[in-house]
Amino acid sequence: MAAQIAAGVEKLKVNGSGSAGETSGNGNTATDAEHNDSDDDREDEGTAPGATSGATKKKKKRKPRKKKSAAPKEQSTPPRVPVAQLFPAGVFPEGEVVEYRGDNLYRTTDEEKRHLDRMNNDFLEEYRHGAEIHRQVRQHAQKSIKPGQSLTEIAEDIENGVRALTGHQGLEEGDSILGGMGFPTGLSINHCAAHYTPNAGNKWILQQEDVLKVDIGVHLNGRIVDSAFTLAFDPVYDNLLAAVKDATNTGVREAGIDVRMSDIGAAIQETMESYEVEIGGKVFPVKAIRNLNGHSITQYNIHGSKSVPIVKGGDQTKMEEGEIFAIETFGSTGKGYVRDDMETSHYAKRADAPNVSLRLNSAKSLLNTITKNFGTIPFCRRYLDRLGQDKYLLGLNNLVSSGVVEAYPPLCDIKGSYTAQFEHTILLRPTVKEVVSRGDDF
């Protein structure tokens, strides 16, 4: 999901066909309909008393066999076929696998580490399943998103795809906790870098000159795949997008077991800030947004306890075996610093929520709905609308002020600036690093 603020980071974040013929009772094989009919039409021996020997036998009508529908072989457009149907064996595509370097190179062939890796097979398949859903949905979005569409239309198309492909529509109580959206679809435009999704009634229309960040989260059993990309329809922004994509790939390359966060941040910043972009005849250096970060991910918790900076700094924390990280970078033509701005849409129940006495009945009722339908998975106001909730804003604000629910306002640089984002999810397996969200697109 989008990113964390560096300050206060701990708060957030075929069925088989039958044989050619069937063997009849006398051992002969019926190979066509005429032969089958002759067998099927055979009546019990003898005739009813008084019947004439030359009486014509009444032919029985043969019921046509129902053909079993074959499992889909490919994805529909828009994507609506559950990915599990496309991979009936339950084995999903592996992400990009990268061997560790230096002192950790031994892990690739070490028998103990290989044994630990095999023990994680169910966990890996859940992540790969989610990643394949993410790839199929986002690649459709990359082709279908066009200027003139409303942000609501774009968000709902993405979210309908994720829900269909996970097989979890999220309308029954608890279904969204089993699988579906890992967080609300981020559709942040121009100077807004993260955490924007339309609320009900939003009229924002995507324009030709806009730079759109698309941040999508998919989860199955709380295993959240977090990956984002940026779209621009004017080639003037190409260098901005190239800078951020290159920086994210640098972060993915540098990340690994025993690597210090400060070293990753320094490498990301050096890569990103080697670019500049010319807009309207003026040259802008691409700046890393210094108070946005990548982050660790734990089950049902999009923002774990560790942050991955995108600028150089003094954080000596190391990445460890078995951890999952969202490596995301943000570049800007503005100040390279974001602040809260615009209407809030993203919320999440805090994993460490205090046990407080809620005075408002609306807050109590809403908390019960949130707990049963989302748990600690982030949600937005449109998701509450979808569940039939209404007149909930007073109760929602009460939950926020009580510290039970966290609100995540949009994060924006100065107006008139442009920002871009790219992101991948990596698994630090015992033997190798797997960039589970990697695809042919980025």
Q: Please give the positions annotated as active site.
A: 215, 226, 295, 303, 328, 423
Tell me if 183 sits within 8 A of 378, measured CB to CB.
Answer: yes
Positive or negative torsion for Cα 308, 311, 315, 321: positive
Q: What is the DSSP letter of 103?
A: G
Which of 224, 215, 213, 214 has its CA nearest to residue 131? 224
Tell me if 431 sits within 8 A of 114, measured CB to CB.
Answer: yes
Written as one letter, the residue type at 246 is D
Antiparallel, parallel or unpaired: β 307-309 and 292-297: antiparallel
Token pair in block for residue 7: 């300050």
Task: Calculate the CA 281 to chain-centre distance.
Answer: 38
The beta strand positions in 341-380, using DSSP E, are: 346-349, 379-380
H/E segment holding residue 127? helix 121-144
CA of 200: how far to CAs of 41, 112, 148, in Å?
A: 65, 53, 18
Cis check for the bond before 410: say yes or no (omega within 30 of 0).
Answer: no
Cα–Cα distance, 158 to 35 (Å, whole number): 53
Token pair in block for residue 166: 């996970």
CA of 357: how far to CAs of 117, 367, 402, in Å?
A: 45, 12, 9
Query: CB atoms < 10 A from the CB of 425, how many?
Result: 30
Token pair in block for residue 186: 């981020």
Token pair in block for residue 350: 């805090």
**3-state SS assignment for residue 244:** helix
> How many Å is the maximal CA-CA distance in the chain?
107
Q: What is the DSSP letter of 150?
A: B
Q: Please compute Rg for the chain using Cα positions.
A: 28
Cα–Cα distance, 2 to 19 (Å, whole number): 54
Residues making up the chain, counted from first to last: 442
Q: What is the DSSP letter of 177?
A: H
